[in-house]
Structure 1
Amino acid sequence: MLTRALIVVLAILNVGVALWWMLRGDPAPAPPATPPTGVAQLQLLDTPKAPAPATTPVAAGAPLADTTPEVAPGSARPPASPAPAPAAAQTAAVASAPTTAPAAPATAPAPSAPAPAPGPLQCISLGPFADRDTAMAAQSKAGALVQRSRLRETAKPGASSTYRVMMPAAASREEAQATVKRIAAAGISDYYIMAQGEDANAIALGQYRNREGAERRLAALSAAGFSARLVGGSEGSAQWWVDAALADQATPSAARQRSGAAQQRSLECAGLR
């Protein structure tokens, strides 16, 4: 009797558990976990799967062969070969590698030819010319054949012509002597007072055989503040020359022909500087 009652109670319990299981419904999903504020989430990337190694089918019942390479005792075990990098990583590495063009070899400049050294300076005198104007025209005609030039006056051979530099006659002897004192104070020498004739009380300041020397004396007196004049000389008793230093690669004959001079003479360049 007791056994039958236990069996009925167990049957009722089983029926109740079955009805509860059928009527309970699907469980509510758990809410997703919220990460803390300010902390980055970890995301998993898809990694390419390594291809499965090729296997050789083994016949049923065949013994398995050991493919492990033999290592001699005491020798180091060979390192395992690294796994090949993914194709995408290799492509990115090639694209990011800097490409540099090979530098072109520098071409050495060709050595320039040295400039020819200028030859020694050569100086000549061109002339003679009858007057100063003719000599100036010849100086201009020489042009680029000469580097620098000057005019020079000389007396004709056999002609006796002199130039005197004089100051006008003073009103009295005392006035002439006062002028002489001022001339000496200025550092000018070679003077005397004319005592008689139409040039009485005039002051002579030098006598020269060519006009060039007389003009230099006049210039010195003018710079010191004295007024003098040039006296003497005769028409046709002097002749003029052009002293010049030849330009590079110019010849004396070419300079003579261009200037129209009848003669050319060698000249020391030291006297032309």
Structure 2
Amino acid sequence: MLIRALIVLLVVLNLGAAAWWLTRPAPTPPAEPALPAGVARLQLVHEAPSMSTQAPVSQARDAVSPVALGTCFSLGPYTSEAAANQARQTLGAQLLRAQLREAPATSANGYQVVMPPAASLEEAQAIAARIGAAGFDDFLVVRQGEQANGIALGRYRSREAAERRVADLQAGGFAALLQPVGRAGTSLWWLDAGAAEGADGAAMARRASSGAPQPLECAALR
């Protein structure tokens, strides 16, 4: 009887131990040791982000390079910032870069009214003929110098008289300009412009009611 009781006790103890082993809670994993400052944790292969989740490569290298300036020049002078800005708008996309520049006028006293140089002497003479036919007098085709093939339309002591002359000519369809040639400190405005290689600066000057285009270093354009 004693042996049977011992056997039964052993069986009960084994069953209890097995039940405890099966029902015990999962052990808590040990905490990861703290890493020194500046040291990154190693990643396993399966922990690394896939290629599809990585940030896209910068597109900066695909940016289009700016168009190189082939020729640069200054147009003007204009008697106001508004007139210079109007010239820039007139030329529009023909200019790759443009900026306005203010400069003091220092020369002989007075104001002159002019027509910008034409493409040829013949064209200038034809314009002069139309001016005369429209009833205007006191004009002269310029044959030499920077304003060659331009038309001088009078010189005045007062700005008001010169402005009236310009207004009358413009009302008659002629692109007359007022140019200060006196009074130190009078402001003039220039349009510093850059265009593509082979651009016709003289043709642009005529469109923009400017005198002959003045050469300009392209580095001067910001």
Whether TM exceeds 0.5 here: the answer is no
TM-score (norm 2): 0.34
Structure with max Cα Rg: 1
